[in-house]
Amino acid sequence: MSLTLQRDDLLRSKHFIGGRWCEAASGARYDVEDPALARAFASVPDGGADDARAALESAHAAFPAWRAVPARDRSRILARWNALLLEHKEDLGKLISREQGKPLAEAIGEIAYAASYVEWFAAEAVRSYGDVIPPPVRGRQMFAVKEPVGVIAAISPWNFPAAMIARKIAPALAAGCTVVAKPAEDTPLTALALAKLAEEAGVPAGVLNLVTASRAHAPEVVDVWLADTRVRKLTFTGSTPVGRHLARASADTLKKLSLELGGNAPFIVFEDADLDAAVDGLMASKFRNGGQTCVCPNRVYVHDAVHDDFVQRLVKRVAALKVGPASDPVSQIGPLINARAVEKVERHVRDALSKGAQVVSGGEPLPALGPNYFQPTVLTGVTATMDCSCEETFGPVVPVSRFNDEGAVVAEANGTPYGLAAYFYTRDVRRIARLASALESGLIGINEGAVAAEAAPFGGIKASGYGREGSRYGIDEYMHIKYLCQGGLD
Ligand code: SIN
């Protein structure tokens, strides 16, 4: 099926380097697939080391002029980019749906989410204040000023093809950094369209550079950036093993790093919870993007006293979810990204069943719809040793376990190397204070399943990484502090 956009020129098929749209130096290209059909519908350059170097040269050359642009003017450019994203949200949403698979309404919602980060950092650009420090001796003035770190490399994931790259590029540009970026292999088209609109918004040539590459060639691109001291910061969203590799490989050049890595979020429902609110929160959080979200609940613990009631309400809602292609306006859950994702979900369900869990809803792939669909699924009787408790499933599966002791459930919730998001539902204010402190996690939803927002600091602890995106802290990830000491003033 063809892709019809109001603006055809938002379907880009080349790298964006130094303000030019160009092919890979090798001339190679790779196919972009529609996950609903597992069939190619577009192609982009398959970049390599030469393209990565060209992007880096441009970003490096553009840095002195961009950092000298007054913050107010950088802010205006970002504000225009935000306006263009919103103006073209339907076209951008169609690109997301086509290459990533999420339903169109959700994809358009993602554009609004991406734009909210651009709007936020347009405003932060003019507020990156430093400090005037009271001097300890006479005749001195002391200041702490914030400066852009330089060229930054951004590596973004496929699950939010617009929002994740926007929340890296926007603070970088706001801070006065220039950017080399590699969007995820599966979803390059949305990022290229975003770059086209950034160009129209007035981002100067060389300030933003995008190199696309297939899974096989992506390491060649990234290795160039990792090895080069001119790349001063790396920001990455993706898996913990890749994050560890990037941290190790950044050690020689001592890059500043932000790593938003895997999660394994607990979702705890206490006996005094508002069960309708808890089911709403779980549905919103778990089934956003079909469960392909780092912050979505991966382990659901329900108190014995309300377990059966909660599961009954949950199953009613899950069984009513409409699964189908993004192009069908009634679809609520699209396909998973690819065959490997389906295999992982199937493995988790199989493993749980073999260890004593029960399927109470779903549990099967949906080949009649296409190769990458899986039924929204609820499992009960889940225990800590099952794969679905130990690994991020990244699919539409809700694994439910029972508990009857607060201390034990907190220990189990924390019993993972990860610490990105955690959720709990209770009406007890003392318990809220206890869990808010005890849960080892970067984000906590308290009687709330949808926690992410441009105004909030997003990021993890433990094996979920470090650094924060969004909020007033987000721009600091792209700046360093310089201390100025002027003496001889008395
Ligand atoms: C993610 O899945 O990595 C990000 C999700 C979000 O921004 O809420």
pLDDT of residue 51: 98
Q: Mean pLDDT in the chain?
A: 98
Residue 354 neighbours by CB distance under 10 Å: 10
d(CA 407, CA 75): 48
Q: In ligand 1, which atom is closest to the CA atom of 260? A: 3
Q: What pTM does this model have?
A: 0.97
Residue 167 alpha carbon, nearest atom of ligand 1: 7
Instruction: Read off φ and ψ for residue 40, nearest 5 degrees.
Output: -70, 140
Residue 292 CA: which ligand 1 atom is closest? Answer: 2
Closest ligand 1 atom to the C-alpha of 113? 7
- Between the CA of 380 and the centroid of ligand 1 the distance, in Å, is 26
Cβ neighbors of 53 (< 8 A, separation 6 or more) are: 224
Mutating to test ligand 1, I would choose from 113, 295, 464 the residue with most ligand atoms within 8 A of its C-beta, which is: 295
Which are the contacts of 298, defined by CB distance < 8 A and separation ≥ 6? 263, 264, 265, 266, 388, 389, 392, 393, 399
Give the Cα separation of 423 and 421 in Å (integer): 7
Q: Report residue 24's pLDDT band, with 50, 70 and 90 as the boundaries.
A: very high
Q: How confident is the model at residue 337 (pLDDT cuts 50, 70, 90)?
A: very high
SS3 label, residue 487: coil
**For residue 1, pLDDT beyond 80:** no
Q: Is the pLDDT of residue 139 over 80?
A: yes
What pLDDT band is residue 313 in, cutting at 50, 70 and 90?
very high
Backbone angles phi, psi at 334, to 5 degrees: -95, -165
177-203 average pLDDT score? 98
Mean pLDDT of 273-296: 98
Predicted local distance difference test score (pLDDT) of residue 20: 98
Closest by CA to 387, choosing from 360, 364, 357, 363, is 357
What separation in Å is there between the alpha carbon of 69 and the centre of ligand 1?
31
Spatial separation of the C-alpha atoms in residues 103 and 73, rounded to whole Å = 36
The model's pLDDT over 67-112, given as tens digits with 9 standing for 90+, comes to 999 999 999 999 999 999 999 999 999 999 999 999 999 999 999 9
The predicted pLDDT at position 327 comes to 87
Residues with CB under 6 A from ligand 1: 159-160, 163, 237, 260, 293-295, 452, 458
DSSP string, 41-69: EEEEE---HHHHHHHHHHHHHHHHHHHHS
Give the distance (Å) from ligand 1 centre to CA of residue 348: 22
With the CA atoms of 147, 199, 59 and 465 taken in that order, what torsion angle do they form, in degrees rounded to the nearest 10?
60
- Residues 6 or more apart in contact with residue 137 via CB below 8 angstroms: none
Place of tokens 């292999």: 185
Local confidence band at 2 (pLDDT 50, 70, 90 cut-offs): confident
420-466 pLDDT tens trace: 999 999 999 999 999 999 999 999 999 999 999 999 999 999 999 99
Q: Which residue owns the Cα nearest ligand 1 atom 7?
A: 452
| pLDDT average, residue stretch 385-402 | 98
Q: Are 290 and 333 in contact (CB under 8 A)?
A: yes
pLDDT at position 382 is 98
Q: How confident is the model at residue 238 (pLDDT cuts 50, 70, 90)?
A: very high
Supply the residues annotated as catalytic.
Answer: 260, 294
Report, as an integer, the average pLDDT of 322-349. Answer: 97
Tell me what pLDDT residue 362 has.
98
CA dihedral defined by 331, 333, 334, 335, rounded to 10 degrees? -140
Mutate to test the pocket of ligand 1, among 288, 292, 293 (most ligand atoms within 8 A of CB): 293
Q: Which residue's CA is the nearest one to ligand 1's atom 1?
A: 294
